[in-house]
Chains A and B, each alone.
Chain A
Amino acid sequence: MLEIKNLHASIDEKEILRGINLKVKPGEIHAIMGPNGSGKSTLASVLTGNEKFKVLEGEVFFNGKDLLELPPEDRAREGVFLSFQYPIEIPGVSMVNFMRTALNEHRKYRGEEPLSASAFLKLLREKKKLVEIDSKLTNRSVNEGFSGGEKKKNEIFQMAMLEPKLAILDETDSGLDIDALRIVANGVNKLKRADNAVIMITHYQRLLDYIVPDFVHVLYQGRIVKSAGKELALELEEKGYDWIKKELEE
């Protein structure tokens, strides 16, 4: 589904990603962990097309398409979704209008008719229930005045609406209390199918108790330096990253 080959990327002339290689197949859940500044969020931004970052080298294929050639909106329409670490507040744009516009652009891309207002509202209600989002939140402007937890839940709600093939969760767990974390994780698990995949970027093991990964990768200084099964996360939680750094130096 996703194949990243030797990806190098920079921001403000500073190289952050220095040769990432990663393959994700349908049905898989990958966790990417690593110390601060290792390039985790940069990877998420580059995959989704944030123009602040410059790709220097490498290729990314998504279901056979050259992802790096596509503008952000087309990557989304192809089925890539990013749950932002810091969702943006957009006063004046209502959640309903935002989601309806987004959903209909996806449909148009697939050559489908736009959803009628009533069908859209029905879907909205279903998905709200699925991810346990407060019904009042969708009556407001996008993320405006939302608490940290509400913003993260709102990201998962949007994911539920758009049904991506590949969801990239960028520190979706950071700053969440345990109840909110459970709700967010439940949402992700309910949306999981055999034909979609998840990349979770996180600092902590805790999220992985709820969303169990098939693979855990350690990102350090812009490269994936270690990949293993879910047991790696536990080891990292216990020992920190120093042992990996040491391994590398040896």
Chain B
Amino acid sequence: MSITKRVEEIEKQYIELYDQNIVQLADKSTLEVNSHRDKSFKNFQKLGIPSDRDEDYKYTNIQPFLRGTFEFNFVHQNIEAQLDDVFKCEVSELESYSVFIINGWYSEKNQIAGNLPDGVYFGSLAEAFKKHPKLIDKYYGRASKIERDGFTALNGMFAQDGVFIYIPKNVVLDRPLQIVNILTGDSDNVVFQRNLVVMEENSQAKILVCDHTLTPSKFVVNSVTEVFAAESVVLDHYTLQNQHNLTTQVAGVFVEQKSSSTVMTNNLTLHAGISRNNIYYKLDGEHCESYLYGLYVTDKNQHVDNFSFIDHAKPNCTSTELFKGVLDDRATGAFTGRVLVRKDSQNTNAYQSNNNILLNDLARISTRPQLEIYADDVKCSHGATVGQLDDEAMFYLRSRGISEEESRVLLMYAFAYEVIDKITVEPLKEQIRDLVEKRFRGEFDKCDFCVVCAEADSKMLNCF
């Protein structure tokens, strides 16, 4: 049963929704998850929805996009019937293990091709509440920042499903795990999604998240992903966002690393409406390596805000941050690189850079490094650039007979390539390379999917 609600006074109406549906929301969750729900609710009452008056959201006011008449689904709706096409994509066993999430709910039609290694869980979070309550209770809500961020608190209140990934000790996944998030439906929708990734000692995985919209309805997405990387874990986490202009998404990734682990996140935004990524890392062990990469290519009235917060809580860790953006038309963007080096975190290395190209006088980017350093033996650097395409390089290419348009594409692509080059999954890298090039050529289609299919047919879904 879905609820249609007119949202004007946002906080008040979300609180009403929570009060009226708490029984339904709590129904399938564990006691611990519901206690997190309750704590989130209390925090939300204090924090409310962030506006541009909040320092963390200074350049992105999401409030106006939350107003309107929206549908909420607090019960798993079976809408897969209309989506047969989705499941026609036979993801090759050689390529990846894939699941589809529809409006935040783990699809009942998911069948993972191939055999996952013993002990690995890759499936519905709601299902894991029943099957693995101990694991869930140990980790759920421990990394997310409900006391700091109103959207995260809101997710804690309403989220019921998403993906749970568990990789046991020493297991190395042979193929990437692919999560395809699909937004669909004839009415405007508010979607909550929750993912939890638990990696035990010395395990390795690559996760690819693809965000897509199938219908021209308005979507408001609030997702939270918590990642727990134990000692010596190696994890790559890619997010590729390709959503239409009516989508407003706040996506939080909260990573907690134990000693000698290596985690990389790469947020690639090719098309979006309003997009806010909250990327939090806590380096809670020595000799951690953290890589935060991102690329955003925006035009029209799109807005992308990457907010990162790296907490160097232990000594001898290295974090490397690189975000690049190309903005056209009236697109706006923001980047915040917050780095906290605690008092005892000696021998910390933290590198940060944010480079932007504005193709148009009306495009805007706000970029701010925020370094807070309490230790005295550290190496930290930060740099931000905002510029245009290099005239000298343009002339050089054109003087060889390459047209102005093609030269622009080559240069934009060259600028973006540094981020794409960090992708370690070869078929994915190729796919992204193609998509980015198409994007720069203006041939990109919102129906182009990042999903790595067996037939390599990126247009396997019927899209409006």
- A residues near B (Cβ < 8 Å) are 48-52, 71-73, 75-77, 81-82, 84, 87-88, 90-93, 97-98, 101-102, 105-106, 109, 141-142, 158, 162
Q: How far is the CA of A10 from the CA of B428 in the complex (A)?
A: 50
A158 to B397, CA, bound (A): 11
Do B411 and A73 touch (CB < 8 A)?
no
Q: Which residues of B contact A48 (CB under 8 A)?
A: 399
The reply to whether B400 and A102 form a contact with Cβ atoms under 8 Å apart is: yes
CB distance from B335 to the nearest CB of A (A): 20
A50, A51, A98: the one within 8 Å of B397 (CB): A98
Chain B contact residues, CB within 8 Å of chain A: 390-393, 395-404, 406-407, 410-411, 413-418
User: With A98-B410, A101-B406 in contact, do A90 and B393 touch (Cβ < 8 Å)?
Assistant: yes
Interface centre among A52, A92, A142 (most CB of B within 10 A): A92
Question: Is there an interface contact between B410 and A73, defined as CB atoms closer than 8 Å?
Answer: no
Determine whether the beta carbon of A76 is less than 8 Å from that of B418.
Answer: no
Q: Which residues of A contact B406 (CB under 8 A)?
A: 101, 105
In the complex, the answer to whether A106 meets B391 with C-beta atoms within 8 Å is no
Of the candidates B393, B404, B418, the one whose C-beta lies within 8 Å of that of A73 is B404
Most buried by A among B396, B398, B399, B410: B399
How many A-B pairs with Cβ below 8 Å?
79
Tell me the bound Cα distance from A91 to B114 in angstroms: 40
Q: Are A73 and B402 in contact (CB under 8 A)?
A: yes
**A102 with B396: CB separation less than 8 A:** no
Tell me the bound Cα distance from A87 to B411 in angstroms.
16
* Distance A162 CA – B407 CA, assembled complex (angstroms): 17
Beyond contacts A88-B393, A98-B400: 9 other A-B pairs, Cβ-Cβ < 8 A, are A84-B396, A88-B390, A88-B392, A92-B417, A92-B418, A93-B397, A105-B402, A106-B401, A109-B401
User: Are B395 and A76 in touch, CB under 8 angstroms?
Assistant: no
Query: Contact at B392–A71, with CB atoms within 8 Å?
Result: no
CA distance A82 to B397 in the complex (A): 11
Q: Tell me if A102 and B401 are in contact (CB < 8 A).
A: yes
- Across the interface, which residues of A come within 8 angstroms of B397, CB to CB? 90, 93, 98, 102
Return B382 CB to nearest CB of chain A, in Å.
21
State whether A72 and B414 are in contact (beta carbons under 8 Å apart), knowing that A88-B392, A105-B403 are contacts in the complex: no
Question: What is the chain B residue whose CB lies nearest that of A76?
Answer: B401
What B residues does A142 contact at CB under 8 A?
Answer: 396
Please determine whether A49 and B410 come into contact, CB atoms closer than 8 angstroms. no
Q: List 29 A-B contacts (CB under 8 A).
A: A52-B395, A71-B404, A72-B395, A72-B398, A72-B399, A76-B399, A76-B401, A81-B399, A82-B399, A84-B399, A88-B393, A90-B410, A90-B414, A92-B413, A92-B414, A92-B416, A92-B418, A93-B397, A93-B410, A97-B410, A98-B400, A98-B410, A101-B402, A102-B400, A102-B402, A105-B401, A105-B402, A106-B401, A162-B401
Closest to B420 in A: A92
- Chain B residues near A50 (CB, 8 Å)? 395, 399
Docked pose: A50 CA to B394 CA in angstroms: 10
Q: Which A residues touch B398, using CB under 8 A?
A: 49, 71-73, 76
Determine if A87 and B413 form an interchain contact, defined as CB atoms under 8 angstroms apart.
no
In the complex, which residue of chain B has the Cβ closest to the Cβ of A159?
A: B400
Q: Are A88 and B396 in contact (CB under 8 A)?
A: yes
A52: chain B residues within 8 A (beta carbon): 391, 395
The residue among A49, A72, A162 with the most chain B CB atoms within 10 A of its own CB is: A72
Minimum CB distance partner of A105 in chain B: B401
Given contacts A52-B391, A88-B393, A90-B396, whether A73 and B401 have CB atoms under 8 Å apart is: yes
Cβ contacts under 8 Å, A76 to chain B: 398-401
Inter-chain contacts of A141 with B (CB < 8 A): 414
Q: How far is A173 from B407 in the complex, measured between Cα atoms in Å?
A: 28
List, in ascending order, chain A residues with CB within 8 A of B402's CB. 73, 98, 101-102, 105
Closest chain B residue, CB of each to CB of A142 = B396
**Chain A residues with CB under 8 A of B415:** 92
Q: How far apart are the CA atoms of A142 and B399 in the complex, in Å?
A: 14
Task: Give the residues in chain B near A51, CB-CB below 8 Å.
Answer: 391, 395
Asked whether A77 lies within 8 Å of B414 as measured between CB atoms, the reply is no
Beyond A82-B399, A84-B396, whether A93 also contacts B414 by CB under 8 A is yes
Contact of A158 among B391, B400, B411, B413 (CB under 8 A): B400
**Contact B403 A73, beta carbon cutoff 8 Å:** yes
B57 to chain A, nearest CB (A): 33
A82 to B392, CA, bound (A): 14
Alpha-carbon separation in the docked complex, A76 to B406 (Å): 15
Most buried by B among A81, A102, A106, A162: A102
Task: Tell me, in angstroms, the Cα distance from A101 to B397 when the chains sit together.
Answer: 10
A106 CA to B398 CA, complexed, in Å: 11
Contacts of B416 in A (CB 8 A): 92
User: In the assembled complex, how far is the CB of residue A141 from the closest CB belonging to chain B, in whole angstroms?
Assistant: 8
Instruction: Say how far B414's CB is from chain A's closest CB, in angstroms.
Output: 3
In the bound complex, residues from chain A placing their C-beta under 8 Å from that of B411 are 90, 93
B440 to chain A, nearest CB (A): 12
Chain B residue contacts of A73, Cβ below 8 A = 398-399, 401-404, 407
Most buried by A among B392, B399, B401: B401
Q: Which residue of A lies closest to B390 (CB)?
A: A88
Which single residue of chain A is at the shortest CB-CB distance from B415?
A: A92
Closest CB of chain B to A169's CB: distance in Å?
13
A164 to B418 CA separation, bound complex (whole angstroms): 33
CA gap between A221 and B119 in the complex, in Å: 81
